[in-house]
Structure 1
Protein backbone atom coordinates (compact mmCIF):
# COMPACT_ATOMS: atom_id res chain seq x y z
CA UNK A 1 0.00 0.00 0.00
CA UNK A 2 2.78 2.43 0.97
CA UNK A 3 4.71 1.64 -2.20
CA UNK A 4 1.63 2.35 -4.33
CA UNK A 5 1.12 5.71 -2.64
CA UNK A 6 4.80 6.59 -3.13
CA UNK A 7 4.64 5.53 -6.76
CA UNK A 8 1.65 7.79 -7.31
CA UNK A 9 3.50 10.70 -5.70
CA UNK A 10 6.48 9.98 -7.97
CA UNK A 11 4.30 10.22 -11.07
CA UNK A 12 2.61 13.39 -9.80
CA UNK A 13 5.92 15.11 -9.16
CA UNK A 14 7.70 13.66 -12.18
CA UNK A 15 10.48 12.39 -9.90
CA UNK A 16 11.18 8.76 -10.74
CA UNK A 17 13.87 8.23 -8.10
CA UNK A 18 12.49 10.05 -5.09
CA UNK A 19 10.94 7.30 -2.98
CA UNK A 20 12.40 4.15 -4.47
CA UNK A 21 14.60 3.10 -1.54
CA UNK A 22 14.07 2.60 2.17
CA UNK A 23 16.95 2.35 4.59
CA UNK A 24 14.75 2.16 7.69
CA UNK A 25 14.03 -1.12 9.40
CA UNK A 26 10.33 -1.09 8.50
CA UNK A 27 9.98 1.70 5.95
CA UNK A 28 9.67 4.54 8.45
CA UNK A 29 11.63 6.88 6.17
CA UNK A 30 9.20 6.35 3.28
CA UNK A 31 6.22 6.83 5.58
CA UNK A 32 7.64 10.13 6.83
CA UNK A 33 8.41 11.37 3.31
CA UNK A 34 4.78 10.68 2.46
CA UNK A 35 3.63 12.49 5.62
CA UNK A 36 5.77 15.52 4.75
CA UNK A 37 4.05 15.62 1.37
CA UNK A 38 0.58 15.26 2.90
CA UNK A 39 1.29 18.05 5.40
CA UNK A 40 2.85 20.13 2.61
CA UNK A 41 5.97 20.81 4.64
CA UNK A 42 8.62 22.22 2.31
CA UNK A 43 11.46 23.27 4.60
CA UNK A 44 12.58 20.15 6.42
CA UNK A 45 15.34 19.21 8.83
CA UNK A 46 15.82 16.43 11.37
CA UNK A 47 17.37 15.60 14.72
CA UNK A 48 18.31 11.93 14.99
CA UNK A 49 19.01 10.84 18.57
CA UNK A 50 20.76 7.48 18.49
CA UNK A 51 21.83 7.61 14.84
CA UNK A 52 24.17 4.57 15.10
CA UNK A 53 24.92 4.10 11.37
CA UNK A 54 24.74 6.26 8.21
CA UNK A 55 22.78 3.59 6.27
CA UNK A 56 21.96 0.38 8.16
CA UNK A 57 18.48 0.69 9.68
CA UNK A 58 18.87 4.45 9.30
CA UNK A 59 15.74 6.60 9.38
CA UNK A 60 17.61 9.57 7.89
CA UNK A 61 19.69 8.09 5.04
CA UNK A 62 16.90 8.41 2.49
CA UNK A 63 16.12 11.95 3.66
CA UNK A 64 19.79 12.90 3.27
CA UNK A 65 19.80 11.35 -0.18
CA UNK A 66 16.87 13.61 -1.09
CA UNK A 67 18.72 16.75 0.02
CA UNK A 68 17.34 17.07 3.55
CA UNK A 69 19.92 17.87 6.23
CA UNK A 70 19.95 17.69 9.99
CA UNK A 71 21.74 16.72 13.19
CA UNK A 72 22.93 13.22 14.07
CA UNK A 73 23.49 12.38 17.73
CA UNK A 74 25.76 9.41 18.43
CA UNK A 75 27.69 8.88 21.70
CA UNK A 76 30.02 6.20 20.31
CA UNK A 77 33.12 8.04 18.93
CA UNK A 78 33.87 5.45 16.22
CA UNK A 79 30.27 5.32 15.01
CA UNK A 80 29.95 9.11 15.08
CA UNK A 81 33.14 9.44 13.02
CA UNK A 82 31.84 6.90 10.52
CA UNK A 83 28.53 8.76 10.20
CA UNK A 84 30.39 12.04 9.67
CA UNK A 85 32.38 10.51 6.79
CA UNK A 86 29.13 9.71 4.99
CA UNK A 87 27.18 12.77 6.13
CA UNK A 88 29.58 15.68 5.70
CA UNK A 89 26.72 18.17 5.24
CA UNK A 90 25.00 17.13 8.48
CA UNK A 91 25.93 18.28 11.98
CA UNK A 92 27.32 15.19 13.73
CA UNK A 93 27.57 15.40 17.51
CA UNK A 94 29.51 12.86 19.54
CA UNK A 95 27.35 13.09 22.65
CA UNK A 96 24.45 11.32 24.30
CA UNK A 97 21.15 12.97 25.16
CA UNK A 98 19.74 12.97 28.67
CA UNK A 99 17.68 15.15 30.99
CA UNK A 100 20.71 17.18 32.08
CA UNK A 101 24.25 17.76 30.75
CA UNK A 102 27.27 15.98 32.18
CA UNK A 103 28.86 12.56 31.80
CA UNK A 104 27.32 9.09 32.03
CA UNK A 105 28.52 5.49 31.67
CA UNK A 106 27.96 4.16 28.17
CA UNK A 107 27.60 0.42 27.55
CA UNK A 108 29.00 -0.89 24.25
CA UNK A 109 27.78 -4.30 23.05
CA UNK A 110 28.96 -6.71 20.35
CA UNK A 111 25.99 -5.52 18.29
CA UNK A 112 26.07 -1.72 18.42
CA UNK A 113 22.29 -1.39 18.03
CA UNK A 114 22.09 -2.36 21.73
CA UNK A 115 24.52 0.32 22.95
CA UNK A 116 22.91 2.29 25.75
CA UNK A 117 23.34 4.94 28.44
CA UNK A 118 20.78 3.19 30.64
CA UNK A 119 22.09 1.01 33.48
CA UNK A 120 18.81 -0.91 33.63
CA UNK A 121 18.73 -1.50 29.88
CA UNK A 122 22.34 -2.72 29.92
CA UNK A 123 21.48 -5.33 32.56
CA UNK A 124 18.42 -6.46 30.57
CA UNK A 125 20.39 -6.75 27.32
CA UNK A 126 23.11 -8.81 28.97
CA UNK A 127 20.45 -11.10 30.45
CA UNK A 128 19.44 -11.91 26.85
CA UNK A 129 22.94 -13.19 26.14
CA UNK A 130 24.27 -10.15 24.26
CA UNK A 131 27.97 -9.69 25.03
CA UNK A 132 29.10 -6.44 26.67
CA UNK A 133 32.35 -5.21 25.12
CA UNK A 134 33.10 -2.13 27.21
CA UNK A 135 31.73 0.40 29.67
CA UNK A 136 33.06 3.91 29.07
CA UNK A 137 32.23 7.44 30.16
CA UNK A 138 30.70 9.78 27.56
CA UNK A 139 29.46 13.35 27.49
CA UNK A 140 25.73 13.95 27.48
CA UNK A 141 23.74 17.04 26.54
CA UNK A 142 20.03 17.90 26.52
CA UNK A 143 17.61 18.06 23.61
CA UNK A 144 16.69 21.64 24.48
CA UNK A 145 20.33 22.79 24.53
CA UNK A 146 21.11 21.10 21.20
CA UNK A 147 18.12 22.87 19.63
CA UNK A 148 19.17 26.19 21.12
CA UNK A 149 22.83 25.80 20.19
CA UNK A 150 22.65 24.23 16.74
CA UNK A 151 19.18 25.16 15.44
CA UNK A 152 19.04 28.70 16.83
CA UNK A 153 16.19 27.76 19.15
CA UNK A 154 13.90 26.49 16.40
CA UNK A 155 12.67 22.93 16.85
CA UNK A 156 13.55 20.34 14.19
CA UNK A 157 10.74 19.40 11.82
CA UNK A 158 11.41 15.71 12.53
CA UNK A 159 12.70 14.14 15.72
CA UNK A 160 13.94 10.56 15.47
CA UNK A 161 14.38 8.98 18.89
CA UNK A 162 15.94 5.60 19.59
CA UNK A 163 17.83 5.91 22.85
CA UNK A 164 17.66 2.31 24.11
CA UNK A 165 15.89 2.72 27.43
CA UNK A 166 16.05 6.52 27.73
CA UNK A 167 13.29 7.51 25.31
CA UNK A 168 10.81 8.41 28.03
CA UNK A 169 13.38 10.40 30.00
CA UNK A 170 14.24 12.39 26.88
CA UNK A 171 10.58 13.01 26.00
CA UNK A 172 9.99 14.23 29.57
CA UNK A 173 12.92 16.64 29.24
CA UNK A 174 11.68 18.36 26.06
CA UNK A 175 10.27 21.86 26.39
CA UNK A 176 7.25 21.31 24.15
CA UNK A 177 6.15 24.93 24.55
CA UNK A 178 9.32 26.16 22.82
CA UNK A 179 10.90 23.23 21.01
CA UNK A 180 8.14 20.89 19.83
CA UNK A 181 9.06 19.02 16.62
CA UNK A 182 6.36 18.73 13.96
CA UNK A 183 6.92 14.99 13.55
CA UNK A 184 8.23 12.45 16.07
CA UNK A 185 9.36 8.94 15.19
CA UNK A 186 10.17 7.01 18.36
CA UNK A 187 10.86 3.38 19.15
CA UNK A 188 7.91 2.14 21.20
CA UNK A 189 8.60 -1.59 21.10
CA UNK A 190 10.77 -3.33 23.67
CA UNK A 191 12.92 -6.06 22.12
CA UNK A 192 13.04 -9.13 24.30
CA UNK A 193 9.70 -8.41 25.96
CA UNK A 194 7.43 -8.09 22.94
CA UNK A 195 5.55 -5.25 24.61
CA UNK A 196 4.59 -1.84 23.22
CA UNK A 197 5.37 1.10 25.50
CA UNK A 198 1.86 2.49 25.78
CA UNK A 199 2.92 4.79 28.61
CA UNK A 200 5.43 6.53 26.32
CA UNK A 201 2.84 6.71 23.52
CA UNK A 202 0.33 8.34 25.87
CA UNK A 203 2.91 10.91 27.02
CA UNK A 204 3.44 12.06 23.45
CA UNK A 205 -0.28 12.10 22.68
CA UNK A 206 -0.78 14.28 25.76
CA UNK A 207 1.48 16.91 24.15
CA UNK A 208 -1.02 17.42 21.32
CA UNK A 209 0.30 14.87 18.83
CA UNK A 210 -1.65 12.43 16.66
CA UNK A 211 -0.49 8.97 15.59
CA UNK A 212 0.04 8.84 11.84
CA UNK A 213 1.47 5.34 11.59
CA UNK A 214 2.87 2.49 13.65
CA UNK A 215 5.33 -0.07 12.30
CA UNK A 216 5.11 -1.94 15.61
CA UNK A 217 8.74 -1.14 16.35
CA UNK A 218 8.33 2.63 15.84
CA UNK A 219 5.38 4.97 16.24
CA UNK A 220 5.19 8.09 14.06
CA UNK A 221 3.37 11.12 15.46
CA UNK A 222 2.59 14.50 13.95
CA UNK A 223 1.44 17.81 15.37
CA UNK A 224 -1.17 19.73 13.37
Structure 2
Protein backbone atom coordinates (compact mmCIF):
# COMPACT_ATOMS: atom_id res chain seq x y z
CA UNK A 1 0.00 0.00 0.00
CA UNK A 2 0.94 3.65 -0.33
CA UNK A 3 1.06 5.45 3.01
CA UNK A 4 0.06 9.13 2.99
CA UNK A 5 0.05 9.64 6.76
CA UNK A 6 2.76 11.56 8.56
CA UNK A 7 3.85 8.68 10.77
CA UNK A 8 2.39 5.68 8.89
CA UNK A 9 -0.75 5.72 11.02
CA UNK A 10 -2.72 4.52 8.01
CA UNK A 11 -0.46 1.45 7.76
CA UNK A 12 -1.39 0.29 11.27
CA UNK A 13 -5.07 0.91 10.64
CA UNK A 14 -4.89 -0.92 7.31
CA UNK A 15 -3.28 -3.87 9.09
CA UNK A 16 -6.30 -4.09 11.37
CA UNK A 17 -8.96 -3.51 8.72
CA UNK A 18 -7.11 -5.73 6.23
CA UNK A 19 -7.99 -4.19 2.86
CA UNK A 20 -11.70 -3.74 3.58
CA UNK A 21 -13.29 -1.97 0.62
CA UNK A 22 -15.75 -0.04 2.77
CA UNK A 23 -15.85 1.48 6.21
CA UNK A 24 -16.33 4.77 8.02
CA UNK A 25 -13.91 7.16 9.65
CA UNK A 26 -14.02 10.49 11.48
CA UNK A 27 -11.00 12.72 10.93
CA UNK A 28 -10.84 15.57 13.45
CA UNK A 29 -8.22 18.04 12.28
CA UNK A 30 -8.25 16.58 8.77
CA UNK A 31 -6.12 19.36 7.23
CA UNK A 32 -5.06 18.40 3.68
CA UNK A 33 -6.87 15.72 1.63
CA UNK A 34 -3.56 14.13 0.63
CA UNK A 35 -0.49 15.43 2.47
CA UNK A 36 -0.04 13.73 5.87
CA UNK A 37 -3.58 12.36 5.58
CA UNK A 38 -4.50 9.35 7.72
CA UNK A 39 -7.68 8.79 5.70
CA UNK A 40 -6.55 9.24 2.05
CA UNK A 41 -5.68 5.53 1.67
CA UNK A 42 -9.09 4.50 2.99
CA UNK A 43 -11.02 6.98 0.86
CA UNK A 44 -9.27 5.57 -2.22
CA UNK A 45 -10.33 2.06 -1.14
CA UNK A 46 -13.96 3.12 -1.02
CA UNK A 47 -14.37 4.17 2.61
CA UNK A 48 -16.30 7.33 3.48
CA UNK A 49 -16.47 9.48 6.55
CA UNK A 50 -16.52 12.86 8.23
CA UNK A 51 -13.74 15.42 7.97
CA UNK A 52 -13.64 18.14 10.61
CA UNK A 53 -11.43 21.04 9.51
CA UNK A 54 -12.03 24.63 10.72
CA UNK A 55 -9.71 26.40 8.25
CA UNK A 56 -12.01 27.44 5.37
CA UNK A 57 -9.50 26.97 2.55
CA UNK A 58 -8.55 23.48 3.72
CA UNK A 59 -12.18 22.52 4.26
CA UNK A 60 -12.94 23.60 0.70
CA UNK A 61 -9.98 21.58 -0.62
CA UNK A 62 -11.34 18.54 1.24
CA UNK A 63 -14.80 19.02 -0.24
CA UNK A 64 -13.40 19.17 -3.76
CA UNK A 65 -11.09 16.18 -3.31
CA UNK A 66 -13.54 14.10 -1.25
CA UNK A 67 -17.05 14.59 -2.66
CA UNK A 68 -18.12 11.33 -1.00
CA UNK A 69 -17.22 12.59 2.48
CA UNK A 70 -18.98 15.00 4.79
CA UNK A 71 -16.65 17.94 5.49
CA UNK A 72 -17.46 20.32 8.35
CA UNK A 73 -15.66 23.67 8.59
CA UNK A 74 -15.90 23.76 12.38
CA UNK A 75 -13.73 22.98 15.40
CA UNK A 76 -14.64 20.53 18.14
CA UNK A 77 -14.62 21.21 21.85
CA UNK A 78 -16.24 20.26 25.16
CA UNK A 79 -19.33 22.38 24.39
CA UNK A 80 -20.87 24.29 21.49
CA UNK A 81 -20.11 27.93 20.84
CA UNK A 82 -17.40 29.87 19.06
CA UNK A 83 -13.71 30.52 19.61
CA UNK A 84 -10.65 32.09 18.05
CA UNK A 85 -8.59 29.77 15.88
CA UNK A 86 -4.94 30.74 15.62
CA UNK A 87 -4.22 29.79 12.03
CA UNK A 88 -0.53 29.16 11.29
CA UNK A 89 -0.48 30.11 7.62
CA UNK A 90 2.96 28.76 6.72
CA UNK A 91 2.99 25.58 8.82
CA UNK A 92 0.37 23.07 7.78
CA UNK A 93 -1.29 21.28 10.68
CA UNK A 94 -0.12 23.61 13.45
CA UNK A 95 -3.24 25.79 13.73
CA UNK A 96 -4.72 25.70 17.23
CA UNK A 97 -7.41 27.01 19.56
CA UNK A 98 -4.86 27.09 22.37
CA UNK A 99 -3.95 30.75 22.94
CA UNK A 100 -0.87 29.94 25.02
CA UNK A 101 0.45 27.65 22.31
CA UNK A 102 -0.27 30.34 19.71
CA UNK A 103 1.84 32.77 21.75
CA UNK A 104 4.83 30.45 21.45
CA UNK A 105 4.25 30.34 17.71
CA UNK A 106 4.27 34.13 17.49
CA UNK A 107 7.63 34.16 19.28
CA UNK A 108 9.08 32.40 16.24
CA UNK A 109 9.71 35.02 13.58
CA UNK A 110 9.30 32.44 10.80
CA UNK A 111 5.67 31.62 11.67
CA UNK A 112 2.76 33.68 10.37
CA UNK A 113 -0.25 33.44 12.69
CA UNK A 114 -3.64 34.99 11.97
CA UNK A 115 -6.82 34.81 14.05
CA UNK A 116 -10.06 33.41 12.67
CA UNK A 117 -13.32 33.09 14.59
CA UNK A 118 -14.75 29.58 14.18
CA UNK A 119 -17.82 27.68 15.25
CA UNK A 120 -17.32 25.11 17.99
CA UNK A 121 -19.36 21.92 18.10
CA UNK A 122 -19.05 18.77 20.17
CA UNK A 123 -18.08 15.38 18.77
CA UNK A 124 -21.32 13.97 20.20
CA UNK A 125 -23.37 16.53 18.24
CA UNK A 126 -21.54 15.76 15.01
CA UNK A 127 -22.03 12.00 15.39
CA UNK A 128 -25.67 12.44 16.37
CA UNK A 129 -26.25 14.49 13.22
CA UNK A 130 -24.27 12.07 11.01
CA UNK A 131 -25.14 8.79 12.67
CA UNK A 132 -23.66 5.40 11.93
CA UNK A 133 -20.92 3.07 13.09
CA UNK A 134 -17.40 4.54 13.13
CA UNK A 135 -14.48 2.20 12.47
CA UNK A 136 -11.82 4.66 13.53
CA UNK A 137 -11.59 8.18 14.91
CA UNK A 138 -8.49 10.30 14.47
CA UNK A 139 -7.90 13.40 16.63
CA UNK A 140 -5.13 15.86 15.76
CA UNK A 141 -6.02 19.27 17.17
CA UNK A 142 -2.75 20.75 18.45
CA UNK A 143 -3.32 20.91 22.19
CA UNK A 144 -7.13 20.68 22.29
CA UNK A 145 -7.39 16.89 22.46
CA UNK A 146 -8.99 16.89 25.90
CA UNK A 147 -11.76 19.22 24.74
CA UNK A 148 -12.61 16.95 21.81
CA UNK A 149 -12.64 13.87 24.05
CA UNK A 150 -14.78 15.60 26.68
CA UNK A 151 -17.29 16.54 23.99
CA UNK A 152 -17.87 12.90 22.98
CA UNK A 153 -20.58 10.55 24.20
CA UNK A 154 -18.58 7.34 24.56
CA UNK A 155 -21.63 5.27 25.50
CA UNK A 156 -23.58 6.04 22.32
CA UNK A 157 -20.67 6.46 19.92
CA UNK A 158 -17.89 3.91 20.24
CA UNK A 159 -15.36 3.86 17.40
CA UNK A 160 -13.43 0.62 17.25
CA UNK A 161 -10.11 2.53 17.22
CA UNK A 162 -9.21 6.05 18.37
CA UNK A 163 -5.91 7.60 17.27
CA UNK A 164 -4.90 10.71 19.20
CA UNK A 165 -1.82 12.86 18.64
CA UNK A 166 -0.03 12.65 21.97
CA UNK A 167 2.96 14.99 21.85
CA UNK A 168 3.25 18.75 21.91
CA UNK A 169 3.37 20.28 18.40
CA UNK A 170 6.77 19.80 16.77
CA UNK A 171 8.10 18.11 19.91
CA UNK A 172 8.66 14.69 21.44
CA UNK A 173 7.32 15.92 24.79
CA UNK A 174 4.39 13.80 25.93
CA UNK A 175 1.02 15.59 26.06
CA UNK A 176 -1.41 12.77 26.85
CA UNK A 177 -1.46 12.84 30.64
CA UNK A 178 -4.34 15.32 30.74
CA UNK A 179 -6.73 13.23 28.65
CA UNK A 180 -5.55 9.60 28.79
CA UNK A 181 -7.63 8.90 31.95
CA UNK A 182 -10.74 9.96 30.00
CA UNK A 183 -10.04 7.32 27.37
CA UNK A 184 -9.49 4.66 30.03
CA UNK A 185 -12.70 5.70 31.79
CA UNK A 186 -14.52 5.41 28.43
CA UNK A 187 -13.45 1.76 28.19
CA UNK A 188 -10.44 2.04 25.90
CA UNK A 189 -6.89 0.78 26.29
CA UNK A 190 -3.77 2.16 24.67
CA UNK A 191 -2.38 -0.46 22.29
CA UNK A 192 0.61 1.56 21.06
CA UNK A 193 2.45 4.85 21.30
CA UNK A 194 4.28 5.31 17.99
CA UNK A 195 6.32 8.35 19.07
CA UNK A 196 3.62 10.76 17.92
CA UNK A 197 0.20 9.17 18.48
CA UNK A 198 -1.50 6.90 20.96
CA UNK A 199 -3.63 4.15 19.42
CA UNK A 200 -6.63 3.15 21.54
CA UNK A 201 -8.91 0.15 21.08
CA UNK A 202 -11.90 -0.95 23.11
CA UNK A 203 -10.66 -2.79 26.19
CA UNK A 204 -12.30 -6.10 25.20
CA UNK A 205 -11.18 -5.96 21.53
CA UNK A 206 -8.29 -8.43 21.75
CA UNK A 207 -7.72 -8.52 17.99
CA UNK A 208 -7.37 -4.75 17.68
CA UNK A 209 -5.13 -4.49 20.74
CA UNK A 210 -2.81 -7.18 19.36
CA UNK A 211 -2.67 -5.95 15.75
CA UNK A 212 -2.08 -2.34 16.76
CA UNK A 213 0.60 -3.17 19.31
CA UNK A 214 3.47 -3.25 16.78
CA UNK A 215 4.65 -0.14 14.88
CA UNK A 216 4.53 -0.04 11.08
CA UNK A 217 7.38 -2.14 9.72
CA UNK A 218 8.79 -3.85 6.63
CA UNK A 219 6.33 -6.72 6.92
CA UNK A 220 3.44 -4.31 6.33
CA UNK A 221 4.71 -3.97 2.74
CA UNK A 222 4.05 -0.26 2.36
CA UNK A 223 5.65 2.61 0.48
CA UNK A 224 5.58 6.20 1.63
CA UNK A 225 3.71 8.52 -0.72
CA UNK A 226 6.72 10.71 -1.45
CA UNK A 227 8.77 7.65 -2.40
CA UNK A 228 5.96 6.40 -4.63
CA UNK A 229 5.77 9.83 -6.26
CA UNK A 230 9.53 9.82 -6.87
CA UNK A 231 9.30 6.35 -8.40
CA UNK A 232 6.38 7.41 -10.56
CA UNK A 233 8.26 10.52 -11.70
CA UNK A 234 11.32 8.40 -12.45
CA UNK A 235 9.25 5.88 -14.40
CA UNK A 236 7.64 8.74 -16.34
CA UNK A 237 11.10 10.13 -17.06
CA UNK A 238 12.33 6.71 -18.23
CA UNK A 239 9.24 6.30 -20.42
CA UNK A 240 9.84 9.74 -21.92
CA UNK A 241 13.49 8.89 -22.66
CA UNK A 242 12.42 5.62 -24.25
CA UNK A 243 9.91 7.46 -26.43
CA UNK A 244 12.66 9.85 -27.53
CA UNK A 245 14.97 6.92 -28.27
CA UNK A 246 12.25 5.19 -30.28
CA UNK A 247 11.53 8.40 -32.20
CA UNK A 248 15.27 8.72 -32.91
CA UNK A 249 15.44 5.12 -34.13
CA UNK A 250 12.43 5.68 -36.36
CA UNK A 251 13.96 8.87 -37.71
CA UNK A 252 17.24 7.04 -38.40
CA UNK A 253 15.38 4.20 -40.11
CA UNK A 254 13.46 6.71 -42.21
CA UNK A 255 16.70 8.45 -43.09
CA UNK A 256 18.32 5.17 -44.11
CA UNK A 257 15.25 4.25 -46.16
CA UNK A 258 15.33 7.64 -47.86
CA UNK A 259 19.06 7.29 -48.56
CA UNK A 260 18.44 3.89 -50.15
CA UNK A 261 15.65 5.37 -52.24
CA UNK A 262 17.87 8.32 -53.16
CA UNK A 263 20.68 6.00 -54.23
CA UNK A 264 18.20 3.99 -56.33
CA UNK A 265 16.92 7.16 -57.93
CA UNK A 266 20.50 8.37 -58.57
CA UNK A 267 21.38 5.07 -60.25
CA UNK A 268 18.18 5.21 -62.28
CA UNK A 269 18.96 8.78 -63.30
CA UNK A 270 22.49 7.82 -64.33
CA UNK A 271 21.09 4.90 -66.35
CA UNK A 272 18.52 7.17 -67.99
CA UNK A 273 21.24 9.72 -68.76
CA UNK A 274 23.35 7.00 -70.37
CA UNK A 275 20.37 5.80 -72.39
CA UNK A 276 19.67 9.38 -73.43
CA UNK A 277 23.28 9.81 -74.54
CA UNK A 278 23.16 6.57 -76.55
CA UNK A 279 19.84 7.60 -78.07
CA UNK A 280 21.30 10.95 -79.07
CA UNK A 281 24.27 9.21 -80.61
CA UNK A 282 21.98 6.92 -82.59
CA UNK A 283 19.91 9.88 -83.74
CA UNK A 284 23.05 11.77 -84.76
CA UNK A 285 24.26 8.74 -86.70
CA UNK A 286 20.89 8.39 -88.42
CA UNK A 287 20.85 12.08 -89.27
CA UNK A 288 24.38 11.84 -90.71
CA UNK A 289 23.39 8.81 -92.75
CA UNK A 290 20.30 10.63 -93.96
CA UNK A 291 22.36 13.62 -95.09
CA UNK A 292 24.81 11.27 -96.74
CA UNK A 293 21.98 9.59 -98.63
CA UNK A 294 20.48 12.91 -99.64
CA UNK A 295 23.83 14.18 -101.03
CA UNK A 296 24.67 11.01 -102.90
CA UNK A 297 24.57 11.42 -106.80
CA UNK A 298 21.42 10.05 -108.36
CA UNK A 299 21.72 7.49 -111.15
TM-score range, shorter chain: 0.7 to 0.9
1:144 aligned onto 2:132: no
Partner Cα distance (2:182, 2:108) in 1: 28
SS at match of 2:41: helix
Partner of 1:214: 193
SS of residue in 2 equivalent to 1:113:
coil
So what's the TM-score if we normalise by structure 1? 0.83
> How many residues matched?
201
Structure 2 counterpart of 1:84: 63
Equivalent-residue separation in structure 1 for 2:199 and 2:193 (angstroms): 6
Deviations 1:97-143 (A, max 9, x none): 11111211111112131111221221233334452331111111110
Equivalences for 1:86-105 in 2 at 5 Å? 86-105=65-84
Q: TM-score, normalised by structure 2?
A: 0.63
Q: Tell me which of 86, 89, 92 is aligned to 1:107.
A: 86
Large movers: runs of 4+ above 3 Å? 40-43, 127-130
Higher Cα radius of gyration: 2
1:205 aligns with 184
TM-superposed CA distance for 1:192, in Å, is 4.7
| Paired residues of 2:75 and 2:121 also in contact (CA < 8 A) | yes
Alignment match, 1:33: 14
The 5 Å alignment of 1:53-64 reads: 53-64=32-43
Match for residue 195 of structure 1 among 151, 154, 173: 173
Kindly tell me: are residues 155 and 165 of structure 1, through their superposed partners in 2, closer, same or farther at Cα, counting changes over 3 Å? farther
Are 2:50 and 2:70, in contact at CA under 8 Å, matched by a contact in 1? yes
Give the corresponding residue for 2:218. Answer: none
Partner of 1:67: 46
Deviates more, 1:55-64 or 1:103-112: 103-112
- 2:152 match: 174
RMSD: 2.0
Give the Cα separation in 2 of the matches to 1:92 and 1:198: 27
Q: Distance in 1 between matches of 2:110 and 2:123?
A: 29
> Going by fraction, where is helix more abundant, 1 or 2?
2
Q: Distance in 1 between matches of 2:45 and 2:22?
A: 12
- d(CA) in 2 for partners of 1:41, 1:201: 29
Deviates more, 1:67-76 or 1:109-118: 109-118
Report the 3-state secondary structure (helix = DSSP H, G, I; strand = E; otherwise coil) of the residue aligned with 2:146: helix
- Deviation larger for 95-104 or 60-69: 95-104
